[in-house]
Amino acid sequence: MDPHLLWYVLAAVLILVGIVGSVLPVLPGVPIVFAGMLLAAWADQFAHVGTITLTILGVLTVIALVIDFVAGVMGAKRVGASRHAVIGAAIGTLVGIFLGIPGLLLGPFVGALLGELVAGGTLRKAADVGVGAWVGFLVGTVAKLGICFAMLGLFAFAFVVG
């Protein structure tokens, strides 16, 4: 049995878990995808996937992390949220991480809604802001998933061509 096979299997598992984690935000999905790709490149002694490809994959990972944090906040801001609502969306997203999937789905909404109410907004305005934060979270999730598949395509291309 090829001793590198175990590393490739572990790398594939990390990539799959990372892709799932980019949709279910309990896990840091994109960094896990990157870790799997780095492990596969290492197992291959960087013969096919080298520094340039790994640097691009690393930059894409950082972009995905920024998108993950900013998306809900920007969604709230786009619908005219107050400063309190934007802060609430950010806090709701962070708190939601510790409350599992329901917390992650509702955290940006509830945080933005409460923040807007604290700022003196009407319930209608607060609900609109909450929906904006939630839509931003959804857009961020789709963007992270897209980045994961772009990374996978770039890695596969480099592995085959390199």
Q: How confident is the model at residue 49 (pLDDT cuts 50, 70, 90)?
A: very high
pLDDT digit string, tens, across residues 27-37:
789 999 999 99
pLDDT digit string, tens, across residues 135-145:
888 888 899 99
Distances 92 to 21, 136, 152 between C-alpha atoms, Å: 19, 13, 31
Distances 74 to 53, 85, 149 between C-alpha atoms, Å: 30, 11, 23
Q: What is the mean pLDDT of the chain?
A: 89
Q: Could you tell me the end-to-end alpha-carbon distance of the chain, in angstroms, rounded to an integer?
A: 24
Q: Is residue 52 classed as helix, strand or coil in its secondary structure?
A: helix
Cβ neighbors of 66 (< 8 A, separation 6 or more) are none
What is the model's pTM? 0.78
pLDDT digit string, tens, across residues 100-140:
778 877 888 899 899 999 999 899 988 888 888 888 888 88
CB atoms inside a 10 Å sphere around CB 100: 12
Listed by start position, the domains of the chain span: 3-161
Residue 158: pLDDT over 80:
yes
37 contacts 49 by C-beta, under 8 angstroms: yes
Cβ neighbors of 114 (< 8 A, separation 6 or more) are 88, 92, 126
